Chains A and B, each alone.
Chain A
Amino acid sequence: MKTTQTIAIIGASGNMGAAISRSLAKGNYRLLLCANNLDKVQAVAEEIRNSNPGAEVEAADCTREASWEADIIIAAVPYAAEQEVAAKIREVANQKVVISIANPLNNTYDGLVTAPETSAAEELQKLLPNSKIVKAFNTTFAADFTTPVIDGRQADAFIAGNDEEALQTVSELVATAGFNPVIAGNLAVSGTLERMQLLLIQLNNKYNYNWLAGWKILHQSANLN
């Protein structure tokens, strides 16, 4: 696509939000970085501009305004904050792609706070019924964004959602960030993806991967018949 798309990244001063912002600044996107603390998010914007002078990036303190301006919205906030964000952007996020990156972990990192039949992404869809919620960037650690090729293999990044066009849009974002996009299925698959990250976090803590680890599906070449 030639036309520059505008992406609002809510929570861009956080670990994940900043990592996503840095990696998407490489693509044909205009980024609006939002956070409650404008100073922090301005620092992220400045750092991106310093390392990539061509990047179109701006800090914003108003989540609703930025989401109104945007074509795509990334909710890079913890699960607990999704409700508050949804209330702010509800009207302006109509029909837009909204990416849920949250993993609804409990405080001890040994389980999820969501009920088994749902997920953070599906709960966000309930809060934003007229938006196209897509689960993405939840199976990758923040450090993976600077090193998407780990031990010689490009990490897979899984995507789930119900709208075909939205899935394609997000696949392009994931590829721009340097990962291998894998569309896993409709939004109901989000629960599985969130549990995959729970497992990865547990393995990280057990085997000390130093937060640089990811998923890779080993498979034969796709059978095109």
Chain B
Amino acid sequence: MREIAYYEAKFEALNEIMAADPTVHLINGTFLSLSPHRHVYQELANKYRDRVMSPPISELGFCGLATGAAMAGLRPIVDISTGSFIFEGWPQVANEAANAFSMSGGQTRVPVVFHLFHGLRGGGAAQHSASPQAMLWNNPGLEIVLPSSPRDVKGLLKTAVASDNPTIFVDHVQLLDVKGDVPENDSPIPFGLAHVKRKGSDVTVIATSYMVQRCLQVAERLASERISAEVVDPRTLVPFDMATLMTSVEKTGRVVIVDETHQSCGVAAEIAARIVESGFDKLKAPLRRVSTLDVPVSYSPPLEDYIGPREDRIIEAIRAVLR
């Protein structure tokens, strides 16, 4: 098996997508945030000069432009870059793109991808650290994807571009240098398929995005204490694979959900509600959420570290459900 970095897998996908489909355009950012690996973007931009667009800082304008272009038959991929900036384009994403298929009675398809980096990034503070996926999950009509590994980012990005729906591709800068196995000529990964990232028998840890990597480290640590944690990654919020999650929940009877959206009405809250609704009787202990605290993200490192789903909070939650 071939091991490559997450950002390399992502750009392999972008290169293959651009080569295969001339209706795909990249609009706005570099898909790398401030990562130093700019050369991979530059090579792509040089190769597809006419299909890599650099609009002015007008999120409302270019999110709408991409949506309208999708309505007219193109398949644009917009890089909103910092997730907080989706609020600038929100009316076009949430009120136009998301509603169009339903509102037109199925006449209008909107195959646009909105890519963004969410979450705590190290000094982003309140206006550069948003995780808008919970708000977006509350907005029917969008598909929402959260990759957590090199193989997933490649396979899911291909499916996102092929989808006829507006798709939010939620990435995390802390993942860009993660290494992992990515087979040559790998197949796209269908939406709605959760993935068991680590097998275990004592507790089900459901994690999304970068939190999957953190939870895998936690699971490794706890293994030395003979705690066997199963780490399950939903990979897509819409569509959502309840069956894989419940198979694990039925096996362990103990659940911790780790996610970087804020706690109230967050991603973990919704997953918790679904588990309780469909399998309350399978739980041997109250489930626990580890989310970002319900406060605006602070700038200073100790403050930022404190509010996120820290490793010690995850371990404490796992111990609590095992009691």
- Do A and B pair up? The answer is no
